Amino acid sequence: MISLTFNNIYYLWLLLSIPLLIITHIFVLNYLNRRAVKFANFEAIKRVTGGKFDVRNSRAISKNKLLLLVRIFVLIFMIFSISGPVLWYTGQASDFDFVFAIDSSSSMLSDDFEPHRLDAARKASSDFLNNLKSKTNVGIVSFAGTSFIEQSLDDDLEKAQETIRNIKVSQSGGTDIGGAIVTSTNILLNSENPRMIILLTDGQSTVGTAVREAIEYANKNFVIINTIGIGTEEGGTFLRGGIISTLDDQTLIEIADKTGGMYYRAENEESLTHAFNEISEVSQKKIPVDISMGLMMLALALLFIEWGLINTKYRTLP
């Protein structure tokens, strides 16, 4: 399956300038026609045509339809190019480099998992590492109100397991999912392998970077995000005040859908393990291709064609 996304979709509003280009073309054409009729030497034209020339039936200037079409496509290709088009297609997956982004906010202490959500996330992540190839690169980020790089990309999986087991609840308030995505993406920037973030959270983003901005940043850098929502439908309580925390599915679904990943809802340890098993068995992935430069080269090629046309076939004589 092939799909097209845009990193800077708002630039597509510039396509509304195409009608303006057409109107301008018609206006200029009419102006040139009036000027040609005003300064034409009709006596000379009659002598050349044997007296058959009639100004009322003449067309002084070509309508230049081909020239207009070329200009329209130049404008379309340039607008599409600056809009950051990314073509996605399904292909065979090779070895990924992973970053685990694990929510360490206080809501992860909710007791709908035994003993709490964070402990279940740590255990399942550590077990997942046991199924990876020995030379797989893994990075680890923990996040609450701010994000912390617990480990940069490293193929020492035992070290990664130890790092995950040592993640504690953060003292910073709130949950910045957008910031966690940006930080995790930055870790993967130098990776030459397919890039994947596994985001484990209860999905309640309350502070920091806007999630949609983080999604755009991940797409620009060809990072796939699989999201795992940890929490039961009823929710769980945490802290002494008995605060109830429920899972925010919609945020995690949006992140996964827009980055070519999958969303998994984990309501117990079995479903959490199942989510990791599915991720580890992925044999295909969505491969992104940035086509911005290709479209810009097409626009430049058409500009040269336009230059040739206006200096030959469609040249306007003074």
CA 120, 121, 124, 126 torsion-angle sign: negative
57 Rama sector, left if φ>0, alpha if ψ -120 to 50, beta otherwise: alpha
- 188, 140 Cβ separation under 8 angstroms: no
In the numeric block, the tokens 């004589």 are attached to 317
**Distance in angstroms (rounded) separating the CA atoms of residues 197 and 180:** 10
List the 284-290 sheet strands across, edge first. Answer: 2-6, 85-92, 284-290
Indicate the burial class of 27 (C-beta count within 10 angstroms; 0-12, 13-18, 19 or more).
exposed
Domain ranges (residues) in the chain: 2-88+292-310, 94-282
In a 13 Å sphere around the CA of 202, the CA atoms on its Cβ side amount to: 32
Q: How far is CA 48 from CA 34, 53, 235, in A?
A: 22, 9, 92
Nearest partner of 308 among 68, 73, 67, 69, judged by Cα: 67
pLDDT at 138: 93
pLDDT at 81: 92
In a 13 Å sphere around the CA of 192, the CA atoms on its Cβ side amount to: 0
pLDDT at 187: 95
- 185, 218 Cβ separation under 8 angstroms: yes
- pTM here? 0.64
How many helices and strands, by DSSP H and E, does the chain display? Answer: 10, 11
pLDDT at 92: 52
pLDDT profile of the chain (318 residues), mean per 10: 81 90 82 60 51 47 73 92 84 76 88 84 89 84 92 92 91 87 95 90 83 92 92 68 71 91 89 87 68 92 86 63
CATH of domain 94-282: 3.40.50.410
